Structure 1
Amino acid sequence: MHAKTDSEVTSLAASSPTRSPRRPVYYVQSPSRDSHDGEKTTTSFHSTPVLSPMGSPPHSHSSLGRHSRESSSTRFSGSLKPNNSSTKKAEKGAGRKPWNKECAVIEEEGLLDEDEADKALPRKCYLLAFVVGFFVLFSVFGLILWGASRPMKPDVVMKSIKFEQFVIQAGSDSTGVATDMVSMNSTVKLTFRNTATFFGVHVTATPLEVSYSQLTIASGAMKKFYQSRKSQRTVTIVVEGNKIPLYGSGAALSTPTGTTNLPVPLELNFIVRSKAYVLGKLVKPRFYKTIGCSMVLDPKKLNAPTVLKNCTYV
């Protein structure tokens, strides 16, 4: 190794232009304002000649090119920004107006539908509440009427029975068996009174049956009738029997003449049924009266009324 002389250093400095302390000046042509594409801008930038008194070093050229590219792109973007923003605003305005109108119409229709639904729902609720309330009130009213009508039971009083005929004679039944047979004809009177203050009643009864020794020897039917409120009537029922077989029960009563001189114990039984239409067919109170009377037939008092005293009412 040997030290370099001053002449060698001077020659080296003159031969190497990159090590000059002064920085070379470059002139770059700006891209055209009519360009609308970044790629065209870059192409025009690369196609622009670099005016330099001497060749630039690689690193200086690359840094300068990058700087120039950034500045040109900045200027390009800056020149295009207003156009882009205005275009976007126009597109947004043009695109949003129909959409906004459609949304407004849909929203208004939705609000109208909701208002109609809100209005329709209360009407249905009111109608349902009215129907339910009506039935509840009607049911309560019907129960009140039914409860008020229950104590107003009709009153039945047995008055008398009159025997017109009572004959026992020998005979035979439908199968040809010989036995004593009885025939009887009588009339029963009773009084029916409707105690109700606000309704009338329809009255029927089961057949009236007169029995001797638990054997029915006569029967009769009461006609149906209507009894208005707070009123009464006397009812007459014909009870009769014709040639009813006794099968040995009337042996003690049989006589050659057919008439007996002995008293004959008899029983009278039937049921009186009453029905009222207080509130149409919805409130129909029913009343039942079971009547049983014990009596004695005196052959000497035929065609004379016999007062019915021993009677039970259930």
Structure 2
Amino acid sequence: MAGEARMHAKSDSEVTSVDQSWPARSPRRPLYYVQSPSNHDAEKMSYGSSPLGSPHHFYHSSPIHHSRESSTSRFSVSLKNPRNLSTWKKLHQSQHSDDEDEDDVGADQGSGRNIRLYLCFFLLFVLLFTVFSLILWGASKSYDPKVLVKNIVFESLNIQAGNDDTGVATDMLSLNSTVRILYRNPATFFGVHVTSTPLELHYHQLSLASGLVKEFYVKRKKERKMAVVVSGHQVPLYGGVSALGNAREQRQNVALPLNLTFVMRSRANILGSLVRSKFYRRIRCYVTLHGNSLGKPSTLTHSCLYN
């Protein structure tokens, strides 16, 4: 027993001496580094180790290399797996705003292209319509209406003494006649509306009788016959008509040269009010009133000028 006690005491002393001789360990200094979360070890972002505890693994890096690798790894981690809600919202909003900008640019380009297309179609339509209208208008000019003054009938002639509106004594003339006119529309694709100035019988500059033509319409390739009454009542002569000097005594010997004048207007609505053609025919006929031919038609077919 005493021997065993001496052995234990000896071993304790040896351990104590060994422990005292062994240098005291310095406190462990933790090392941290960041790895990319591309593998299973991504979740283990940091851990500590000691060179004494890990004899087979040593990590040597300069501070500059360590900082660059850490910043790059953190940026890649934040992009691949954003754990912060505000960061995710910012990324989502930026992507959404980029998509909206692209959509707006595409919509603006599409609307601009549609506007240019509509404008081109409109201009093309206007051009074609203008060309078509000009063709119709030019074609209509070849269908000039035909006006023919066929004859005139002097039905009555009366000359008597009288007074004008101011009370001046002079010879007064009353004349009644009928003019027959043939109007023909040779056009094949439009009708015409026809008006006329008053038909007037003149002795030089003195108007002796007049008559009105009512407005009428003639269809395509149709004709119309008219009988217009041209008359004058109590027209003062003031001695200006020398050929009627002895008309009251010898009426049958009267030969009074007269001019029949009027203007015939024709209007063709080819395409409504958009395309119109107008025709004017100025007519002047030379006729002689014979006192012995009252009631008989006087042919004017070859006695008129048409301009």
The TM-score bracket by the shorter chain reads 0.7 to 0.9
User: Deviation at 1:214?
Assistant: 1.9
When residues 210 and 33 of structure 1 are mapped into structure 2, their CA distance, relative to the original with a 3 A threshold, is same
Residue pairs, 1:224-239, within 5 angstroms? 224-239=215-230
Aligned residue-pair number: 250
| Equivalent residue in structure 2 for 1:248, among 239, 242, 267 | 239
Structure 1 residue 252: Cα displacement: 4.4
Change (3 A) 1:270 1:35: same
State the AA in 2 paired with 1:275: R
Partner of 2:291: 299
SS at match of 1:291: strand
- Read off the aligned partner of 2:283 and give its amino acid letter: I
> Paired residue for 1:284, among 259, 276, 285?
276
Residue 33 of structure 1, CA deviation: 3.4
Q: Against the structure 1 CA distance between its residues 30 and 193, is the aligned structure 2 distance closer, same or farther, given a 3 Å change threshold?
A: farther
Q: Show the counterpart of 2:54.
A: none
Question: Structure 2 matches for 1:3-152, cutoff 5 A?
Answer: 33=29, 85=71, 93=82, 94=84, 97-152=88-143
Say what the alpha-carbon RMSD is for the aligned residues: 3.0
Identify if the C-alpha distance between structure 1 residues 164 and 31 changes in structure 2 by more than 3 Å, giving closer, same or farther: farther
One-letter amino acid of the structure 2 residue matched with residue 172 of structure 1: N
Tell me the SS of whatever aligns to 2:244.
coil
- How far did residue 260 of structure 1 move? 5.3
Quickly say closer, same or farther: Cα 1:30–1:129, change in 2 above 3 A. farther
Give 1:207 deviation, angstroms: 0.2
Identity of aligned residues (%): 41
Q: How far is the alpha carbon of 1:258 from its aligned partner?
A: 8.1
The one-character-per-residue Cα deviations of 1:50-93 (angstroms, maximum 9, x if unpaired) are: xxxxxxxxxxxxxxxxxxxxxxxx99959x85995466665675
Shift of 1:172: 1.6
Q: Distance in 2 between matches of 1:191 and 1:87?
A: 106
Query: Is 1:267–1:292's contact at 8 Å kept on the other side of the alignment?
Result: yes
State yes or no: 1:311 paired with 2:296. no
Q: Distance in 2 between matches of 1:277 and 1:170?
A: 51
Alpha carbons 1:180, 1:254 under 8 Å: kept: no
Matches within 5 A, 1:157-236: 157-236=148-227
1:125-181 Cα deviation digits (max 9, x unpaired): 121112111111111111110000011100011100001111121112111111111
Q: Flag the 1:177–1:98 CA change in 2: closer, same or farther, 3 A.
A: same
Gaps of 5+ in 2: 1-22, 33-59
Provide the TM-score with structure 1 as the length reference: 0.71
The change in CA–CA distance for 1:302 and 1:292 in structure 2 (over 3 A counts) is same
State the one-letter code of the partner of 2:273: K
Deviation at 1:184, TM superposition (A): 0.2
| TM-aligned CA distance change 1:103 to 1:288, over 3 Å | same
**d(CA) in 2 for partners of 1:156, 1:248:** 36
Q: Is the 8 A contact 1:171 1:178 kept in 2?
A: yes
Which of 256, 259, 269 is matched with 2:251 structurally? 259
Is the 2:194–2:265 contact (alpha carbons within 8 Å) kept by the matching residues of 1?
yes
Aligned to 2:267: 275
Provide, for residues 240-275 of structure 1, a one-character-per-residue CA deviation record: whole Å limited to 9, x for no partner.
000111111135414445835221111100000000
Where structure 1 has 5 or more consecutive residues not aligned to the other structure, the ranges are 1-26, 37-73
